[in-house]
Amino acid sequence: MPELFNRVYIERDSLSYCHKIQFGGSSQRMEIRLSRESDVPLRRQLAEQIVFLIGVGKLRPGQRLPSVRELARRLKIHHNTVSEAYQELVRRDWAMRQRGSQLVVASRDRHQLLSETDRLDEVINDAMRRAREEGYTLSQLRERVKKRLVAHRPDHILLVDREPNFREIMRQEIRHALGDWSVLVCSKEELERTPALADHAQVATPEYNIGFVKTLLRVDQPPVALTFSAGDEPLTVVSDLRTPSVIAMVSVSEALLQTANGMLAPVVGRRHSYREVLLSPYEKPDLRAVDLAICDSLALPVVTQTRKIHYKLLETNCVEYLATMVGALGRLCMS
């Protein structure tokens, strides 16, 4: 496994007084921002940002995390802080111990680790090589692929994830993007108990679930992995605020609120005030004292009393790929 940290950059944000630390991986750079000025404990900031990196696909199941002391040294924080953050990740099944004390990103189901090539050309090359080894011609491979694509005509999307309200946010974004395409939802446990839920469906699930969900489906029914956006717009807007402000994260999902808190803490710092608003279906939130509301896709149309920005959960690329798989690319709307 290549060394996780290739380069480290430490900056001091003059607005939020937070340290911004960027470190390189084997294929891309990742970023962790910690602020000693925030009311959110450093261990929680660190844990939630690692969760976020997993959610956006920058840290993948099976990838090693650095040792406690190595990460503490790189981030210039106490090793107990890193240890507590790691313990929280293990407790919540985002990480698991392997070969003694080695910590790796866990498959959310712990059944298997994801090990797929990232390059489509390599997948095609592997298929062509395997077909030749088995005695098939490229013409036979081409015809079989065409038949599979024609046969796999789903009439709805099945969205699989654990947390009901988190699922509903993803469902809303997919339905909006695909022109109200039929989207049903269930948990992994429900799909495991009732495999028929996936009949005539294109299954989609966050990338951290993909390993286990694949084991519940036929070989000719590959699920689409959903990845999360990096949230660049909310982070930029908060960083650019010129005066102390009251900022609220408004969501129907407790899980999203928890992760957003850890991500926004470094840019909020002590300069701004921060509120979490768990949206209830039975009452409209009073946000008259809020200067900026960051809203998930279900909260966005409900919030009317203040300036608001959209926290779009799903990355555009994965929604476009899902549209291709269900034959809805022509009706795609990503606005």
Please give the pLDDT value at position 334: 58
Per-residue pLDDT of the chain (335 residues; tens, 9 = 90+): 333 333 333 333 433 334 444 443 444 556 788 888 777 888 988 988 888 888 877 788 888 888 888 888 888 889 899 999 998 898 888 888 876 668 888 875 543 433 444 456 767 877 888 888 888 888 888 888 777 666 667 889 999 999 999 999 999 999 999 887 899 999 999 999 999 999 989 999 998 899 899 999 988 788 999 999 888 889 889 989 999 999 999 999 999 998 888 888 888 888 899 999 999 877 788 898 999 999 999 999 999 878 999 999 999 989 998 988 887 655 556 56
Please give the pLDDT value at position 213: 93
Among residues 50, 118, 25, 59, the alpha carbon closest in space to that of 258 is found at: 50
Instruction: Give dist(CA 56, CA 281) in Å, integer.
Output: 28
Tell me the one-letter amino acid at 234: P
Instruction: Evaluate whether 22 touches 245 at the Cβ level (below 8 Å).
Output: no
Close Cβ partners of 157 (under 8 Å, ≥ 6 residues apart): 174, 178, 181, 182, 183, 184, 201, 202, 203, 204, 322, 326
Edge-to-edge, what's the strand order for the sheet holding 156-160? 183-186, 156-160, 201-206, 224-226
SS (H, E, C) the chain: CCCCCCCEEEEECCCCCCEEEEEECCCCEEEEEECCCCCCCHHHHHHHHHHHHHHCCCCCCCCECCCHHHHHHHHCCCHHHHHHHHHHHHHCCCEEEECCCEEEECCCCCCCCCCCCCCHHHHHHHHHHHHHHCCCCHHHHHHHHHHHHHHCCCCEEEEECCCHHHHHHHHHHHHHHCCCCCEEEECHHHHHHCHHHHCCEEEEEEHHHHHHHHHCCCCCCCCEEECECCCHHHHHHHHCCCCCCEEEEEECCHHHHHHHHHHHHHHHCCCCEEEEEECCCCCCCCCCCCCEEEECCCCCCCCCCCEEEECCCECHHHHHHHHHHHCCHHHCCCC
Among residues 279, 278, 277, 284, the alpha carbon closest in space to that of 246 is found at: 277
Please give the pLDDT value at position 11: 38
At residue 330, what are phi and psi to the nearest 5 degrees? Answer: -65, -25
Please give the pLDDT value at position 311: 93
Please give the pLDDT value at position 116: 42
